[in-house]
Amino acid sequence: MDDLFQDESVKKGSGAHICVAVLVPYPVDKAYDYAVPYGEAVETGDYVLVPLGGREVVGVVWGAAAGDVKPAKIKSIILKYDMGPMPKVHRDFVSWVAKYTLSPLGFVLKMALSAPGALEPPEPMTGYKIAADAKGLTDKQRAVVDVLKDGVIRRAADIAREAEVTAGVVKTLLGKGVLEEVALYNPAPCQKPYPDARAAQLSDDQTVAAHALVEAVKAKSFYAALLDGVTGAGKTEVYFEAVAQALREDQQVLILLPEIALSNAFLDRFKARFGCSPALWHSHLTANQRKNTWRGVAQGVTKVVIGARSALFLPYEDLGLIVVDEEHEAAYKQEDGVIYHARDMAVVRAHLGKIPIALISATPSLETVQNVWEGRYHKLQLSNRYGGARMPDVEAIDMRAEKLDAQHFISLPLRVAMQQTLERGEQVLLFLNRRGYAPLTLCRSCGHRMECPRCTAWLVEHKSSDKLHCHHCGYFCRIPKKCDECGEEDSLVACGPGVERIFDEAKAFFPDANIMLLASDTAENADELKDMLSQIRSGSVNIVIGTQIIAKGHHFPGLTLVGVVDADLGLTGGELRASERVYQLLHQVAGRAGRAEKAGRVMLQSYMPDHRIIQALCDGARDAFYEVEAMEREMADMPPFSRLAGIIIAGRDHDQTLEIAKALGRTAPQGERISTFGPAPAPYARLRGKFRFRLLVRADKGIDLQKTIAAWVDGVKCPSTVRVYVDIDPQSFM
Ligand code: ADP
Ligand code: ZN
């Protein structure tokens, strides 16, 4: 019995029941014992179907049975799927993430089993091929035969489209015996990317960095590197070399991107480089795409996955490299369900799998920079933009000196620069990270502010829908004719700028310009958004007014002027990462300017032009910014010099929720090396109708934070109507 698991397998017994522990994808902390059917053999990691509370659910054999269930009560595994076992490294990863994030083990497994039905053999579709030579065909029938002459099996709909006939013609030819039906399976995506389809000629800098990554892939051991370089330095070309090497080793690659829906240009580049589209993994895939990709990844035939954070939990058969592009992005933090940071967990995955990981950024997170300083991560540096493009000139406009009309937001110097840019036939981007028309609607008569009835948040006016919207819960309403509070008619006024308002202002100044508004809510869907982005690239748009959706990663060759409407936004917030985030965002926006041969100019409108962040941006003093930021964090004993955990207590009943928060406060860990702040109402004290309180734990690095918190939180009895969430390494404090 003892060595049963040493070879990773659980063999069938000699007639007696052999049991194994099976983990199911539900919020449970342990695997349950099940009997292996007589004559069957299962291995640890095998995917099986088991009965659970009257249902049949998919689970994974997790190891030896615990033996804590009476033999008479043990249920039997229903079937074992015809699929190789989940690799040990992946099971270890699931366990590691559960332990680190204090999430139930089965809940993390659920993320790995995220394509329901993927374990069933796929249903074939009906395809057609030519069965016999035929004479006397009509033109339409001939067209169908011509399409199928190449021997490729196609579905009726595809044949009809290519031959420009109706599907009925295919049926007729089938009846005549000219065509025959064949079972057609959707092939798994990205089976044959070619490592050398079209390699780039690298610059010297690029060659050095690429060589380091390629060697790391060859070495097949853990290696973490930050690939640091200004926007436009050609970082993507560099890590593509590492991807190529992993392909030569016949291994799989995961490239994580923060915003996968907008990555069309990236996908085109990948295809040009490797001659094959990558597999995609994000939340908008169809059920069939999910199944197909999941199987391809698990079977090792799908070679490259480009995905959002959840792609990390796919059970790769043989992963050889992870790339985290824009590693500093907040989008890598998952804030609900299992609360985890995909960049950090990717490093863990690479470590467990003994493979290299490359973190890519022009503005890395302070955590990563600190890891480089302390020698834990290698640093690969690209110092200049590729092909001699210069970095843009950045200047601040002192808004205190500008005399703007009420509710106007574009200063004279910016307007003049816009005019000059347009006259040269170049493009302008005005950046403001605020959707809608105005962030605040208030009553001129009594000062009442329109607030969401379910959240601690102001309602935002949207001209496009002519409604007030809550950006947190989706609540919206008509703009009332009179004030809710004092009843005064027509007294509500829009305060402050949103992108829609800047659009109106720009239109008034430049009536002949082609102006495009780009925010997450201005496009109907991802396709429309892609279309808008390609219109900008083509140069047909003169002025783009956009939110952060436009700030990152895009390459617009004609864009030479970037105006930041409100560079102070976020500077005064007291959050831990406020400075870092503002710096990163503005740096990224600035990086949109002058990426081709024309020089770029960036203007930051600010009421605090002397603020160190504005100064650092103007001086291009990025590393100095990191040093000051690190010093401040160290003095305040904050991450990356210590560790934090956020505890959020949420419930519909205010008093009951507060009671639990207080009870947690009374027993909170306090000491020399660990301290707890709160409870206090969260900044969003109400969200989607739930009251929210927060505690924040700060601990020295040597402390086992998870163990301490688990013991503490488990010690407070909590009714099912109140939820306690633990957020290890919080990014948001709202
Ligand atoms: P980054 O990812 O660092 O912002 P990119 O990889 O997007 O930079 O490169 C910026 C631009 O320069 C892209 O248009 C890219 O195609 C081009 N480029 C970079 N390196 C090379 C190279 N070695 N050969 C040809 N073009 C390159
Ligand atoms: Zn709301």
Q: Give bridge partners of residue 69 from the DSSP assignment.
A: none
Q: For residue 582, how many other CB atoms are within 10 A of its CB? A: 22
In the predicted structure, residue 683 carries a pLDDT above the cut 60: yes
**What stretch of H or E contains 728?**
strand 722-728
DSSP 8-state assignment for residue 47: E
Give pLDDT tens digits for 593-609.
877 677 889 999 999 99
- Substitution candidate for ligand 1 out of 228, 235, 237, 385 with most atoms within 8 A of CB: 237
pLDDT for residue 11: 46
Average pLDDT over residues 194-205: 90
Q: How far apart are the first and last CA of the chain?
A: 51
**What stretch of H or E contains 146?**
helix 139-148
Q: Is 235 in the pocket of ligand 1 (CB under 6 A)?
A: yes
Q: CA-CA distance, 326 to 345, in Å (whole number)?
A: 15
In angstroms, what is the span from residue 546 Cα to ligand 1's centroid?
24
**What stretch of H or E contains 699?**
strand 690-699
Domain boundaries defined on the chain: 19-98+105-112, 125-184, 204-387, 389-434+497-631, 437-496, 643-728
**What stretch of H or E contains 696?**
strand 690-699
In angstroms, what is the span from residue 254 Cα to ligand 1's centroid?
20
The ligand 1 atom nearest the CA atom of 387:
12
- Judge contact between 47 and 58, C-beta under 8 A: yes
Q: Is 114 helix (H, G, I), strand (E, B) or coil?
A: coil
Average pLDDT over residues 701-722: 94
Residue 279 Rama label (left phi>0; alpha psi -120 to 50; beta): beta
Q: Give bridge partners of residue 476 from the DSSP assignment.
A: 469
The ligand 1 atom nearest the CA atom of 233:
3
Give pLDDT tens digits for 416-470.
999 999 999 999 999 998 999 998 998 988 889 998 888 888 899 998 788 999 8
In angstroms, what is the span from residue 236 Cα to ligand 1's centroid?
7
Banded model confidence at residue 4, pLDDT cuts 50, 70, 90:
very low
Q: Is 380 in the pocket of ligand 1 (CB under 6 A)?
A: no
In the predicted structure, residue 9 carries a pLDDT above the cut 60: no
What CATH number should be reported for the domain whose range is 125-184? 1.10.10.10
Residue 117 Rama label (left phi>0; alpha psi -120 to 50; beta): left
In angstroms, what is the span from residue 32 Cα to ligand 1's centroid?
52
Residue 247 Rama label (left phi>0; alpha psi -120 to 50; beta): alpha
- Judge contact between 18 and 34, C-beta under 8 A: no
Q: Is 202 in the pocket of ligand 1 (CB under 6 A)?
A: yes
Give pLDDT tens digits for 520-573.
887 777 788 888 988 999 999 999 999 988 877 678 889 999 999 999 888 776
Q: Is 606 in the pocket of ligand 1 (CB under 6 A)?
A: no
The ligand 1 atom nearest the CA atom of 231:
4
Q: Which of 495, 432, 439 is nearest to 470 (CA)?
A: 439
Residue 462 Rama label (left phi>0; alpha psi -120 to 50; beta): beta
Residue 734 CA: distances (Å) to CA of 478, 638, 693: 27, 17, 10
Banded model confidence at residue 574, pLDDT cuts 50, 70, 90:
low
In angstroms, what is the span from residue 476 Cα to ligand 2's centroid?
8
DSSP 8-state assignment for residue 91: H
Residue 377 CA: distances (Å) to CA of 65, 173, 358, 374: 40, 63, 10, 8
Give pLDDT tens digits for 112-146.
999 988 998 888 888 999 888 878 889 999 999 99
What is the topology classification, in CATH, of domain 204-387? Rossmann fold (3.40.50)
In the predicted structure, residue 5 carries a pLDDT above the cut 60: no
Q: Is 457 helix (H, G, I), strand (E, B) or coil?
A: coil
Average pLDDT over residues 371-387: 91
**Helix and strand numbers, DSSP H then E, in the chain:** 19, 33
pTM of the entire predicted model: 0.88
**What stretch of H or E contains 505?**
helix 499-509
- Judge contact between 159 and 144, C-beta under 8 A: yes
Contacts 24+ apart (CB under 8 A), 517-524: 517/545, 517/546, 518/544, 518/545, 518/546, 518/547, 518/549, 518/550, 519/435, 519/546, 519/547, 519/549, 520/435, 520/547, 520/549, 521/435, 521/462, 521/464, 522/464
Q: Is 344 in the pocket of ligand 1 (CB under 6 A)?
A: no
Q: Are 204-387 and 389-434+497-631 in the same CATH fold?
A: yes
In the predicted structure, residue 8 carries a pLDDT above the cut 60: no
Q: CA-CA distance, 324 to 237, in Å (whole number)?
A: 14
- Substitution candidate for ligand 1 out of 226, 228, 236 with most atoms within 8 A of CB: 236
Q: Is 233 in the pocket of ligand 1 (CB under 6 A)?
A: yes
In angstroms, what is the span from residue 470 Cα to ligand 2's centroid?
5
> H helices of 7-85, where?
none
Average pLDDT over residues 236-251: 97
128-142, 285-299, 579-593 — which one is most confidently predicted on average? 285-299
Q: CA-CA distance, 696 to 700, in Å (whole number)?
A: 14
Q: Is 237 in the pocket of ligand 1 (CB under 6 A)?
A: yes
Banded model confidence at residue 262, pLDDT cuts 50, 70, 90:
low
Banded model confidence at residue 315, pLDDT cuts 50, 70, 90:
very high
- Angle between helix axes 235-248 and 204-219 (nearest 10 degrees) is 30
Give pLDDT tens digits for 619-649.
988 899 999 999 999 998 999 999 999 999 9
**What stretch of H or E contains 212?**
helix 204-219
Q: What are the φ and ψ backbone dihedral angles of 143, each rounded to 5 degrees?
A: -60, -40
The DSSP bridge pattern shows strands 340-341 and 333-334 to be antiparallel
Q: Is 232 in the pocket of ligand 1 (CB under 6 A)?
A: yes
In angstroms, what is the span from residue 308 Cα to ligand 1's centroid?
22
Q: CA-CA distance, 53 to 38, in Å (whole number)?
A: 23
With respect to CATH, is domain 389-434+497-631 assigned 3.30.70.660?
no
65-79, 251-265, 300-314 — which one is most confidently predicted on average? 300-314
Instruction: List the residue whose alpha carbon is closest to atom 6 of ligand 1.
Output: 234
- Judge contact between 603 and 561, C-beta under 8 A: yes
Instruction: List the residue whose alpha carbon is closest to atom 18 of ligand 1.
Output: 234
Average pLDDT over residues 232-245: 94
In the predicted structure, residue 14 carries a pLDDT above the cut 70: no
Give pLDDT tens digits for 21-40.
999 999 999 999 999 998 88
Give pLDDT tens digits for 331-366.
999 998 999 999 999 999 999 999 999 999 999 999
What's the CA angle centered on 48, arms 47 and 49, to 5 degrees?
Answer: 140
What is the topology classification, in CATH, of domain 19-98+105-112? GIY-YIG endonuclease (3.40.1440)
State yes or no: cis peptide before 640, omega within 30 of 0. yes
DSSP 19-35: EEEEE-SSS-SSPEEEE
Q: Is 234 in the pocket of ligand 1 (CB under 6 A)?
A: yes
What's the CA angle centered on 454, arms 453 and 456, to 5 degrees?
Answer: 90
The overall average pLDDT reported for the chain is 90
Instruction: List the residue whose alpha carbon is closest to atom 17 of ligand 1.
Output: 234
pLDDT for residue 7: 40
Q: CA-CA distance, 628 to 634, in Å (whole number)?
A: 10
**Which residues are placed with Cβ below 5 angstroms of ligand 2, an ion?**
452, 454-455, 470, 472-473, 475
DSSP 8-state assignment for residue 465: T
With respect to CATH, is domain 643-728 assigned 3.20.20.70?
no
In the predicted structure, residue 508 carries a pLDDT above the cut 90: yes
Residue 574 CA: distances (Å) to CA of 577, 580, 605, 727: 8, 12, 21, 19
Residue 303 CA: distances (Å) to CA of 242, 247, 276, 296, 307: 13, 7, 10, 8, 13
Q: Give bridge partners of residue 427 from the DSSP assignment.
A: 559
pLDDT for residue 261: 64
Q: For residue 195, how many other CB atoms are within 10 A of its CB? A: 18
Ligand number, closest to the Cα atom of 266: 1
Q: Which amino acid is at 68?
A: D
Q: CA-CA distance, 592 to 601, in Å (whole number)?
A: 10
Average pLDDT over residues 5-12: 42
